[in-house]
Structure 1
Amino acid sequence: MKKGIAILSILACASCSHYVVNQAGYTRPPKHYDFPYRHRVKPLADLSLIDTTAIYYLHDANYYRNSDAYKVPDRYMRFYADGRVKVQGTKAFPRIEDVNDPEKGVVGYYYLKGDLLRIQLYSDINAGSDQLKFGKVDQNGDVILLHDNPRTTYCIGFGKKRTDYLIEKGSYFNPLVFKKIKLEGMTYQKGNW
């Protein structure tokens, strides 16, 4: 009886964490994890909406409208033409070595439907799970993401009208505006996720 309980306890603890941490210290999905968004991706032929030769940088943002009390940590996103994306937090402006290194950052996939942008990132939440981010690409080429969780209110996701409404005034949270910035020395190395 005691051996059975010990074995079940070990199995329960071992099965809780199904993400891996790479050598750079970032969470990665298990080897055979299948991103559902990967099946929706169409390789970018037109870079007019998402520019894979630039980063999208979030700096000095806050969570709530009409408040500067809660700051959002700085981060940047890098999009790849094959539908992959990485997001990395940073304390200062991103270094080109980090931007070019596919081992650094939280990883996932994205797809576009017009200017509507949907992102699925893999994180260590709940011992490894995918998280959704919805937003759009604005007329300046910047990426605007919602803080609002698209898995609430009995549905998954927001359409274009709802996304635009939440960005403009329909949310308690400020949208996250990632400014498009070209960097010298960016190289293209395909992600390994």
Structure 2
Amino acid sequence: MKLYYAPGACSLASHIVAREAGIEIALEKVDTRTKRTEADRDFLAINPKGYVPALELVDGEVLTEGAAILQYLADSKPDAGLAPAHGTLARSRLHEALSYVSSELHKSYTPLFNPATSEEVREERKAYLVKRYSLLDQVLADQPFLLGEDFSVADAYLFTVTQWAGYVSLDLSDFQALDAFQARVRSRPAVQAALQAEGLVPAKAA
């Protein structure tokens, strides 16, 4: 399989999950501005939506949308325990968490990365994000991960989008449980490996 990604973008969550599950994937970086890949392919021919992540499967099919890719990878290696079994309430809780991160957090960051966004809209979006993060901080004050004691694909997604706070000057310093969560996830070997592979942290000296 091949993951089309942009360093630090939401595709990082899929990259993390693949490493957590022990799934070997090839990586191909995408310039989201020019829509060209590092192999000089037209990314729009691969994913007409024009954004990452996109996962090219072994049969040549391409799967898009982060939440779908995260669950596909987890279900490919169920023994890794990254997603609860289908048909359970726990799986519905996973859908709930992924939907919350996608609709309430991920989409709220989008205008903050646009230089044309007005200051008024920026402040409104930041206030909205703080409100939404406050709920997650309460959850994480009582348990280490979004679904409880075990790391799941939802945690990879939350970690990834929360990394963006520093890039858009969003102050989350009041949320101690969230900060501890970020540190907890960042320390995982698979997460460190993904961050290093994308050039987001220095590679460790041999």
User: More strand by proportion, 1 or 2?
Assistant: 1
Structure 1 and Structure 2 fold alike (TM over 0.5): no
- Computing the radius of gyration from Cα coordinates, the structure with the larger value is 1
TM-score normalized by the length of structure 2: 0.23
TM-score normalized by the length of structure 1: 0.24
User: More helix by proportion, 1 or 2?
Assistant: 2
